[in-house]
Amino acid sequence: MSDLPLKLRTVLKERATIGSLHLEIEQVSNDGTRKRAYKLHDGQMIESVLMPYEDGRRTACISSQAGCAMGCVFCATGQMGFARQLTSEEIFEQVARFASELKADGERLSNVVMMGMGEPLANYRNVIAAIRRMNEDLGIGARKITVSTVGVVPNIRKLMDEDIQVRLALSLHCATEEERTALLPANKRYGGLHELMTTIKEYIRVKRQRVTFEWALIEGENDSPEVARTLGRLLKTYDIRSDMSHVNLIPLNPTGGYGGGPSGRKNVARFVDVLEREFGISATPRMRRGIDIDAGCGQLTQANEKKKEKEAAAAAAELSKFAEPAGLPMVGVYEDDESDDYNDSSDEIEPDFKESSNEPDLRHGSVVQFSIDDLAVDLDDEDGADDFIDPTYDDDFEIAEAERLIALIKGVSLQPVQTDVAPVDALPQEVKSTSIIDEDNIRDAKKRRKKLLKHLKAINKLKDMQSNGKVLNEEQLEKVAKEKEWTLELESVEHNLM
């Protein structure tokens, strides 16, 4: 950019940003792992991790959603709930930043794993679009990109038909129906183990690719030799060939919301031995990386939220010191204006005047009688309401806002007047997180989906009319312009309803 004037470059540096991710926190582990928490334009937080390996690989672990609705009980992100889908640009930018920084250091980003916050296959369209850009714009081979899923069966089938050869990793973690549903509630929602394993078998046949089965080893829960045999029998039951499958064993990253802990080395070794020796299934225990910096999915964001909560509690406690003591009257009270310094001496000098029998004995804290001046405004007087209408107001908004404030004083709650100062999606908003096991949210999502489908159906009719020469009016054109917005919202709503 040296061809631009220095003054312009200075202004750009001060006012312009590249991309939409704001780096909120960065931590570097003793093993070289770099963990980042990014703040999005609406205040949501996501995480990305860069993991260096001794063999020269540089792997980026990135997020696909802000939060997650899958509800996996051992996962920090699952404990947060789902906020929203990431756009394809937000997904791609996480990778592009790491790639750019490594390139500046003479290195190259070699691998990408979609194993950060969120369920990638529940944000299917944006994830696939981002992957294509990683492949085309950054030169990362499709086989070097891994998409992890808890088992969103409909979109595993969609992935079969894609022309990109990304690798698939299934977060299995349990080999029986009951245990998997308890640990991963999404198991039941997407049809259970039979539906999932049948789909994986078909995926391997169609794509002719090996599938990785992710297994978080939890001490005393799913790390015994007998559990390993149950897993081996499950894969054999569905004719999952040993050369087309691999089990990735990862000792659990502990989280504050789950009491389980990571398996010890002996249990890990026994688990691997059973799979390889008795079933011929390759299994690799993975080192937990960045354990000293909360590098597990969602852990840095969770730690940051707890820190903010503590800071807010401390601030509230500090403010409470200045609150009015309970029980003191708030109005109609005589308060001394003089300093308490006059009371320091026991030889207090009496003021040189005689008390009038008609004057009350006013002391600190005394309740006194008072009257309202005739010129005072009575807020309850309907005839006096006009006193608050400023004749200089130019529009209905200002009048309506004044009326709302008057009502607020009277104790009546009115909604604030909405303005068109800025688009809603450009302002930070607090988004209520949801979960697929939250029945109220599911019920609301079904109602909203029905309404959105109705809107989109109407838009299709309007577009057909337009293509046949019909001139649409302004209201109809405004509805057509909302197609993309409503389509994206529908995708997000359906995230809980697959």
Active site residues: 47, 297
Q: What angle, rounded to 10 degrees, do the helices at 483-494 and 439-467 form?
A: 150
Cα–Cα separations (whole angstroms), residue 396 to 4, 389, 418: 47, 11, 12
Whole-number Å distance between alpha carbons of 172 and 214: 6
Give me the amino acid identity at 284.
T
CA distance 216 to 193: 17
The tally of CA atoms less than 13 A away on the side-chain side of residue 286 is: 20
Rounded Cα distance between 223 and 367, Å, is 73
DSSP notation for 373-432 = -TTS--TT-GGGGGGG--TT--SHHHHHHHHHHHHHHHT---PPPP--SS-GGGS-----
| CA-to-CA dists, residue 214 to 151, 191, 289, angstroms | 11, 19, 16
- Is 495:127 a contact under the CB 8 Å cutoff? no
Q: Which of 158, 182, 69, 120 is nearest to 497 (CA)?
A: 69
Nearest CA among 123, 110, 128 for reference residue 166: 128
CA distance 33 to 53: 9
**What are the φ/ψ torsions at residue 37 (nearest 5 degrees)?**
-115, 120
